[in-house]
Structure 1
């Protein structure tokens, strides 16, 4: 693979700084993690957006969260069709192998993926309608959410669609038989969250009340 290059020097310097401080001060903990395997209490499905730092938001330690990130924190419906399904595979592993007690779907403000869905569905991003657009076909998952908010005033529609991304994912999670079984047996709970990146706020979905500040 001739195209692969050595890491930029600033990343190498940061690694050595981490190893000399954080790792050196917690070496026994890291070795225990390596030897005993992972036993996370929760799976977090969040956006790829670099501004959403899941472990910082919750002050989580290594080994605490099983984190899956994708564009717009979406979960597709259950569809064992033989295609490659990275998100579905992550959900299956978290529920059936790791036996997580919680699945958290974390949406966020100013989400570029959600805006792409909005623009595609409203007809101003025809390039995302192309069959060759990976982003567009992924954002098809959110089309039902767009249909629920398309009559919301324009100034509030994007924020509403960001929260619909969370709700659509929660709904789709319940189409997975192993998720439905675990939830109904009260072995696992689902949670929907939305964070305001600029304000540092966090809202959680409460059935009957919508998204409310925590």
Structure 2
């Protein structure tokens, strides 16, 4: 017998009695006037690293696109299906966001998979494997470094994934033009699930540090 997940229905009731009731006027305004977020966040699908929760954001404040390992593919107008590129296009060209944040996180399963050359595909389509191939050259270099521990290789690859996405962002003409005009800024961030720490990437050096430290 069909049954919608009870825990979701319970959560919905709490939402209606809590946040929605408290911000009903804001939701009504957003429904009537549309969304105008100033920030696009490219994040991982991982259920432990939700941007809206981490940044304590209200409705309409963030435009979020999530995929495996928070990756932005390069600009490829080839007629294929590109969900992340479509979301990016909408955020930049229609919503006119001012900031794009690529946010990775610790203990990322996609990053772990790309570092494991012997990992078996999860299905005949191997969608994750093909998606993660964007990082394969860097992953091979890091995975082959025997002087690093497994944890060090994992974190290094998580940082590289963020930098790689920012490089790919700049292959999109709309991003490149607006950034050069000073109307758009690109940022990198990394969230540690176990400690709750947020690390921000220096735009010049590429190094990560905790804000205010």
TM-score by length of 1: 0.91
Contact 2:163–2:206 (CA<8 Å) still a contact in 1?
no
Range with bigger deviation, 10-19 or 156-165: 10-19
Aligned residue in 2 for 1:134: 127
Residue in 2 that maps onto 1:74? 71
Alignment of 1:166-181 (within 5 A): 166-181=162-177
C-alpha distance in 2, partners of 1:199/1:20?
Answer: 30
- What is residue 183 of structure 2 aligned with on the other side? 187
> Is contact 1:41-1:102 (8 Å) kept?
yes
CA contact (8 A) 2:115 2:140 kept: no
| TM-score, reference length from structure 2 | 0.91
Tell me the distance in 2 between the aligned counterparts of 1:86 and 1:8: 27
Distance 2:36 2:51 in 1: 18
In structure 2, what is the equivalent of residue 124 of structure 1?
A: 118
- Distance of aligned partners of 1:100 and 1:148 in 2 relative to their CA distance in 1, 3 Å threshold: farther
Residue segments in structure 1 that go unaligned for 5+ positions in a row? none
The residue number in structure 2 matching 1:153 is 148
Aligned equivalents of 1:17 and 1:146: distance in 2? Answer: 43
5+ residue gaps, structure 2: none
Which of structure 1's runs of 4+ aligned residues deviate more than 3 A? none
Counterpart in 2 of 1:143?
Answer: 136
Count matched residues. 207
Residue 127 of structure 1 aligns to a residue whose secondary structure is coil
1:107 partner SS: strand
Contact 1:145 1:168 in 2 (8 A): no
CA RMSD of superposed structures (Å): 1.8
Aligned counterpart, 1:164: 160
